[in-house]
Structure 1
Amino acid sequence: MPCSFVVLSRCFLQQPLDLSMARVLSLCRPLSLLAPLGVRHTAFCRMSLDTRAREVFAAAVSGVQPDSVVRKSLERRGDSLLVGGRSFTLKHNLHLVGFGKAVLGMAAEAERIVGDHLVRGVISVPHGIQEALRQHGKDQMLLKDDSRIKVMEGAKHNLPDADAQRAAACIDELACELTESDLLLVLISGGGSALLPSPVPPITLQEKQDVTRRLAAAGATIQELNTVRRALSLLKGGGLAHSAHPAQVVALVLSDVIGDPLDLIASGPTVWSEVWPEDVLAVLEQYGLSSSLPTSVKEVLGRAAPRGEGVGKPLEAEGHVLNAVIGSNSIALKCASRRARELGFRPVVLSPGVCGDVQLLSRLYGLLAHFACSPDEPHSDIASEMLRLGPEVGVESWDLCRTMQVLGEGHKEGWGATCLLAGGEPTVQLKGKGLGGRNQELALRVGLELKGMELPPKGPVFLSGGTDGQDGPTNAAGATTDGGLWEEANAQGLNIDSFLSNNDSYTFFSRLSGGQRLLLPGLTGTNVMDVHMLLIPYGDSNHHI
C-alpha cells in the first residue's frame, strides 16, 4: 500500500516554508513517470541477490577510485589545465602537494596528466600504504620510478607522528617558495588531518595531541575540535593556501565527511576560516580544560588577534584559491544506482548523510524492509516510527516520505525489485572488546530486524560496506544479511546477542557458514565513507527476480 496522504502531509508540515517549488513539483508529479524504462532485465535472473548486492557495492567503489576521479576533473588541453570550469596556464610552473589515505593514487594520475609541466611535489601518505597497494595489485596507484613527487609515509594507526610532521614541514617549505607565476595543485583526501600536523611554535606535537584528545574524550563535536585544532595549527584552516600566496592554488578534494564541508575535510588547509581566541577559549572552558592548558598553548592563544582585529580577506574571494570536491559518497551512490539499474533494480537513494547510532539506524532499515515487503498491511504505525527515527540518524522526513511513496508505488505500478541506497558514517557504542566495525555491526543488527521475513530470492537482502575496504581493524569491508540470519546462527550455536554485547561482529560473521557473508574487496585505495543497500524483491515471479 502506498504511503498515505496523512503521512505525506505530516512530512510537508515539518519542512521549512521556503521549499523550492521545483522540488515540491518533482515529488507531486505521478511517480509512474519516474519509473525506469526496461527495469525488468532477465539476463541476470540467475544471479543471487547477495551477488548482485556485491556487484552494486563494487560499482560504488569503482566510481570513486582516486585515479578515475582525478581523470574526470583534471583536463589538459595543450598548455592549459582545466579544472572546475576554470583554465590555468601551464608553463613548467606546476607544483604538487597532497595528504590523505587516497592521495597516492590521485598524485599518480595527476602526474600522468600534467606531464613535464610538473616541477616537483611532496605528498604525505599513511605508513605502509605503498607496500599495501603493491600487495593488492593496485600498481596504477603507485608513482613511477622517475616521478618528480616525493612520497613521505607517516601517521601510524591514523595518528599524527614525527614522520607526518616532517612531511608537513616539507609541504610548507615547498609552498612558501612559490611565486605569483606558479600553480600549486593540492590533493586532499580523508585522513589528511593526521598527515599534516604542524603545530604553531612553541606548541609541540604531543601537547597539541593531548589537548585535542582530551576534548574528544570530553564529548566535543567535530566542529568544536576543529575550532581548537585550527587555532593551534600553522597549515589548517587555510594556512597552507596562505603559505603558497601569491601562487594560484587549486585543491582537488576526495571527501570522507558527510555533506562535503570543505572546512572540515582534513581541517580545511586551503579553506580560509575565522578562528578567534575567545571562541577557542570558550570551547576549552565548556569542557573544563582551560585551567590545565600547557603554557605553550596559552602563549599562542594570548598573542592571537581578538575578534575584529587583523581580519584579512579570504584568498578564495580574491580568486587565488579554487577548491573542488571531485569524489564523495553522493558520487559513489550515483554509480551504485547505475549498476543496480543494469542488474534489474529500480534504484532509490534514501540519503548520502546517514549518521547516529547503528542500533537506531538498523531499526530504520528494518522498518523500511517491512514497509516495502508487506504491501497489503496497514503502515501508519511503521511510517510514524520511521518519521520519528529519521532525524536521529541524519535522514530528513522529506526524504523518508519520498522513499515510502516510491516503495508503495512500486507495488501499485508493478516496477519489480527496488535497490534502496544510502551512505554516510554511523557510530557504534563500544561496550566490549571484540573485533569488528560499524558496517559489520550494522549488518548484524539489520539481520535481527529482518528476522522472520521471507528468505531470498523472495525476501530482502541488506549490505553495509566501507568504501576503503576495511571496516574497523579487520580485513573485511562489511557484510551482507537477510531474514534467515537468526535461524542460521542459531543452528550453528552462535548467540547473536552475545556477539553484539561484545562488539564482536567480525568474529560472528567469520564463524557463520565459513565467513560467506563477509564483504572482502581488499584495500580499495579510496574512502568516501560507507555504502548501505537494501535489495527489495517483490515476490511475484513475474518480476524476474
Structure 2
Amino acid sequence: MSEASSVSERALEIWKAGVKAVDSETLVRNAIQINEHSLTVCGHSIPLQGHENLLVVGAGKAGSGMAAGVEAALYGSLLKQRTSGWVNVPADCVRPLSHIHLYPARPASLNEPTAEGVYGSRQILEKISSLQQDDICLVLISGGGSALLPAPLPPVTLEDKQLVTRLLMSSGATIQELNCVRKQISQVKGGRLAAAATCGTLITLIISDVVGDPLDIIASGPTVVDSSTPAEALKILQRFVSDRQQVPDSVWSVLEADPARSPAQEVSRQTKVINQIIGSNATALKAAKQQAEEAGYEIVTLGSENEGTASGIGIELAELCLKIRDGAGPVSRPACVLSGGEPVVDLSSTPNPGKGGRNQEVVLAAMQRLWEEDLSGICVLSGGTDGEDGPTDAAGGILDAQVLERAHAMSIDPAPFLKDHNSYPCLAEVGGLLKTGATQTNVMDLRVALVE
C-alpha cells in the first residue's frame, strides 16, 4: 500500500466514524424506551393504559432509518402491534418495514417537491387529523424534509408555490423572507402539521441539517409554531414583485383572506407538542475527533458552523495543511483538521454551470491551490453525510498525492472546471470522487484533512 493510499484510507475511516455516529436508526432506537406501563421518548414519559395507538409520520433523507429505529425500539412490546405510520422518503431509501409505510416522495438526487410528495403529505395530514385524544404521534424529521413534505394550502397548487419560490429567489429575497412566504401558503410548514394533530401527545425527533440547529428552519419546522402572519408574507411579496400578475391569484387569495392569521392560534391546546434534536453535525464531528485521536493525530477542529463558499473553504483547508506541514500551524504532525457545516456554490458566476456539488468543489479548489505542492502524507476529504452531493451520485471528493499526480499526468488543469462549477467530471477523471451511496442520515457536510 502506498503512502498516499494509506493516508486517504485513514481520512475515510475518520469520516465514516462521524457518519456512523449519526446513524439514523441508532439515534432513534436509543431515544426510545418502553415497558408495559410507559413509553419514554428522550426522557419524556407517557403513561400507557394498554389501548393507545401510536402513529409514526415524517419526512426526510433519514426517514427510512429513523422509522426502522422506531420499530426496533418497540420490538416485543404490545404497543408495536398498535403502531402504524407513513414517512415520505427519497425513492432510493424505500424498504419494507412491518408497521410503518415508507413512501417514495421524490426520485433519488432530485431535491425538489413533486406531485408524489404532495400525495404523501396529504396521506400524513389525513392520518394525523384522525387520531383520538389518548393516541400518541411520533414525527420523524430530517434534512430534505421540506422538499419531501409539500402540501400547498388550497387553492394554491404545487406549480403555483414553485413559481413564487423561484420568483423570490431570483429577486434577491433572503432565506428568512422566502420561508415566511412558503410557510403561509403551506398546510404543514411553520407548525401547521402539529396544528392538524388531534392526539394528546406529539413528539418530534429531529436530525438537524442546518447550521445552529434552529428548530423552525429544519424541514421548515412542521411542528414548530411560527409567529409570522399572512400580512408579513404579503409585504414581502409586494416588496419584491413589481407586477401583481407575476404571482398566481391563488397565492394572493390565501394571503389576503385572513392577514392576521397565525399558526400560533391554530395549535390545539389539547395536544402537547415536544420537539427534540437527537443528532446534528456536532455529533458527527465529535465522533470523528475521537476516531482521529485514537489513531494518534493532533486535532484541529474548525467547528460545525462553517458556511461561506465551497471554493473558499477548500482554499482555507489547503493553506492550513501547508502551514501544519511546514511547522507553522496550530498543531504539529501528524495532524487532523476537522470541519463541519454547509458552504454554498454561487452558480450565478457562470452562464452555464456544470455538474457537481459543494463538497466536490471544496476538493477541486484545494487541488488548484495545492497544484504545485508535494502532497506526500497529505489528504483533503469533503463529503455530504447523506451520501448525496448536489445532483450527482457522489458524496463528495478526496484529494491525495495519487489524485494530484494523476491530474498532472493527464494534463487536467482544475482551474477551468472550477470556474464553471464543473467539479464532477474533473474528479471522476482523476479518481477523486467519494461515492458511498445514500447513508440514510443527513447532518450537513463533514471535512477531514490529514497531514502526516
Instruction: Tell whether the structures are fold-level matches, with TM greater than 0.5.
Output: yes
> Which residue of 1 is the match for residue 315 of structure 2?
363
Bigger shift: 429-438 or 522-531? 429-438
Distance 1:311 1:48 in 2: 55
Change (3 A) 1:477 1:485: same
> Which residue of 1 is the match for residue 441 of structure 2?
526
2:31 to 69, 73, 91: 73
Distance 1:166 1:314 in 2: 23
Q: Please tell me the residue identity of whatever aligns with 2:395.
A: A
Structure 1 residue 102: Cα displacement: 1.4
Contact kept, 8 Å, 1:362 with 1:445, in 2: the verdict is yes
Distance 1:285 1:168 in 2: 29
Distance 2:368 2:9 in 1: 21
Bigger shift: 294-303 or 216-225? 216-225
1:126 to 90, 95, 112: 90
1:425 to 329, 337, 342: 342
> Which residue of 1 is the match for residue 211 of structure 2?
258
Contact kept, 8 Å, 2:361 with 2:421, in 1: the verdict is yes
Contact kept, 8 Å, 1:73 with 1:83, in 2: the verdict is yes
1:299 to 253, 260, 268: 253
Structure 1: gaps (5+ residues): 1-44, 131-141, 377-406, 538-545
Distance 1:124 1:485 in 2: 38
> Which residue of 1 is the match for residue 104 of structure 2?
153
Structure 1 residue 250: Cα displacement: 0.4
> Which residue of 2 is the match for residue 479 of structure 1?
397
Question: Aligned runs of 1:56-205 on 2, under 5 Å?
Answer: 56-90=14-48, 91=50, 92-115=52-75, 116-117=78-79, 118-130=82-94, 142-144=95-97, 147-156=98-107, 157-205=110-158
Contact kept, 8 Å, 2:92 with 2:438, in 1: the verdict is no
Distance 1:522 1:123 in 2: 20
Structure 1 residue 221: Cα displacement: 2.3
Question: Aligned runs of 1:355-394 on 2, under 5 Å?
Answer: 355-375=307-327
Question: Aligned runs of 1:262-281 on 2, under 5 Å?
Answer: 262-281=215-234
1:228 to 171, 177, 181: 181
Structure 1 residue 150: Cα displacement: 2.6
Structure 1 residue 452: Cα displacement: 4.0
Q: State the Cα deviation string for residues 278-306 of structure 1 (Å, max 9, x = none).
A: 31122212322672322221111112242
Structure 2: gaps (5+ residues): none
Q: Please tell me the residue identity of whatever aligns with 1:449.
A: R
Distance 1:311 1:208 in 2: 22
Distance 2:279 2:242 in 1: 37
Contact kept, 8 Å, 2:281 with 2:341, in 1: the verdict is yes
Q: Which has the larger radius of gyration?
A: 1
State whether structure 2 residue 420 is matched by structure 1 residue 511: no
Q: Secondary structure of 2:392's match?
A: coil
Structure 1 residue 482: Cα displacement: 4.1
Structure 1 residue 362: Cα displacement: 2.2
Q: Secondary structure of 2:291's match?
A: helix
Distance 1:468 1:312 in 2: 36
Contact kept, 8 Å, 2:281 with 2:304, in 1: the verdict is yes
> Which residue of 2 is the match for residue 206 of structure 1?
159
Aligned residues: 438
Q: State the Cα deviation string for residues 295-325 of structure 1 (Å, max 9, x = none).
A: 2211111122428x99639779x88111111
Q: Secondary structure of 1:203's match?
A: coil
Q: State the Cα deviation string for residues 499-524 of structure 1 (Å, max 9, x = none).
A: 22232222112222xx1x32222221
Structure 1 residue 253: Cα displacement: 0.8
Question: Aligned runs of 1:393-472 on 2, under 5 Å?
Answer: 407-408=329-330, 410-411=331-332, 416-430=333-347, 431=350, 432-457=352-377, 460-472=378-390
Structure 1 residue 531: Cα displacement: 0.7
Structure 1 residue 178: Cα displacement: 1.5
> Which residue of 2 is the match for residue 403 of structure 1?
none
State whether structure 2 residue 433 is matched by structure 1 residue 536: no
Structure 1 residue 176: Cα displacement: 0.9
Distance 1:444 1:168 in 2: 38
Contact kept, 8 Å, 1:120 with 1:149, in 2: the verdict is yes
Q: Secondary structure of 1:174's match?
A: helix
Contact kept, 8 Å, 2:61 with 2:386, in 1: the verdict is no
Distance 1:62 1:193 in 2: 24
Q: State the Cα deviation string for residues 324-380 of structure 1 (Å, max 9, x = none).
A: 11121111111111111121112332121111212222232233223323336xxxx
Bigger shift: 281-290 or 220-229? 281-290
Q: Secondary structure of 1:158's match?
A: coil
Change (3 A) 1:235 1:123: same
Contact kept, 8 Å, 1:451 with 1:486, in 2: the verdict is yes
Structure 1 residue 213: Cα displacement: 1.9
Change (3 A) 1:290 1:238: farther
Contact kept, 8 Å, 1:99 with 1:195, in 2: the verdict is yes
Q: Secondary structure of 1:82's match?
A: strand
Distance 2:421 2:4 in 1: 35
Distance 1:93 1:152 in 2: 21
Change (3 A) 1:143 1:485: closer
Q: Cα RMSD over matched residues?
A: 2.5
Q: Please tell me the residue identity of whatever aligns with 1:346.
A: E
Contact kept, 8 Å, 1:185 with 1:251, in 2: the verdict is yes
Q: Secondary structure of 1:75's match?
A: strand
> Which residue of 2 is the match for residue 404 of structure 1?
none
> Which residue of 2 is the match for residue 329 of structure 1?
281
Distance 2:157 2:355 in 1: 34
Bigger shift: 356-365 or 103-112? 356-365
Structure 1 residue 453: Cα displacement: 3.9
Distance 2:65 2:160 in 1: 32
Change (3 A) 1:79 1:490: same
TM-score norm. by structure 2 comes to: 0.90
Distance 1:478 1:312 in 2: 43
Contact kept, 8 Å, 1:255 with 1:265, in 2: the verdict is yes
Distance 2:445 2:243 in 1: 36
Distance 1:451 1:498 in 2: 14
Distance 1:434 1:349 in 2: 32
Superposed structure 1 runs of 4+ greater than 3 Å apart: 309-316, 451-454, 482-488
Contact kept, 8 Å, 2:192 with 2:267, in 1: the verdict is no
Distance 2:298 2:310 in 1: 26
Structure 1 residue 236: Cα displacement: 1.0
Distance 2:170 2:4 in 1: 50
> Which residue of 2 is the match for residue 388 of structure 1?
none
